[in-house]
Amino acid sequence: MDSLIIGVAVALPLRLSHQNFYLSATIQTLAAFFYGALFIGYGNGQTLGMRVVRVRCVRSFDREKVEPSRAFRRALCYSVLLFIGALYQLHVTQNPTNQQSIENGKQGLIYFLLVIPHYLDLLWVAWDKKNQTLHDKFAQTIVIREPRVVA
C-alpha cells in the first residue's frame, strides 16, 4: 500500500518529468525514508498503508510506541536496502538504447544480486519467529496487528 502511495505521489511525477535516473532513485528513496520515519516516529506508529490494513509498528521489547530516533533507524535501514536495488533497476530500464537492451539481458544476474538485499529484507518475515523484517530487527521494532474494535 505504501509503495503505491509513494509511487503515485513521487515516482510517477518524476518519471513524467524525465529526470536523471540517479536523481529519481535518490528522490524516491528519500521520500520512502521520510514517509516511513515521520509517520511511524511522529504519528501513531502507522503509515497510511499500515492504517488501511490495520497494523502498527511498536518496539519489539515492550510493545510501546516507537520513538522518532528508532523510527529513523528503521527507515534508514529500509531505505539503504531499497536504494541499492533501485539504482541499478532505474539505470537499466529507463530509455535503453538497442545496445543497452542487449547488455541488459546479460546483466540480469547483476540486477538480481543487487536487489537480493531488499527482497530478503521484505521476505524475512516468512521464516522469522517474531515475524520481523531485517529493518525491524535493526531498529528493534515489530509490526503487530491492531485488535478489532467492536462498536
End-to-end CA distance of the chain, in Å? Answer: 26
* Pairing between β-strand 55-59 and β-strand 141-145 as defined by DSSP bridges: antiparallel
Asked if residue 66 lies in contact with residue 74, where contact means CB atoms within 8 angstroms, the answer is yes
Residues 80-96, mean pLDDT to the nearest whole number: 69
Asked if residue 95 lies in contact with residue 73, where contact means CB atoms within 8 angstroms, the answer is no
Residues 110-132, mean pLDDT to the nearest whole number: 86
Output the CA–CA distances (angstroms, integers) from residue 25 to 18, 35, 77, 90, in the order listed.
Answer: 12, 15, 16, 7
Q: In which band, very low, low, confident or very high, does the pLDDT at 132 lie, cut at 50, 70 and 90?
A: very high
pLDDT digits (tens, 9 = 90+) for 78-87: 999 888 877 6
pLDDT digits (tens, 9 = 90+) for 28-62: 889 999 999 999 999 889 999 999 999 999 999 99
State what percent of residues in the chain have pLDDT above 90: 47
Residues 104-112, mean pLDDT to the nearest whole number: 66
- What torsion, rounded to 10 degrees, do the Cα atoms 30, 31, 34, 40 define? -130
Asked if residue 85 lies in contact with residue 117, where contact means CB atoms within 8 angstroms, the answer is yes
Domain positions in the chain are 2-145
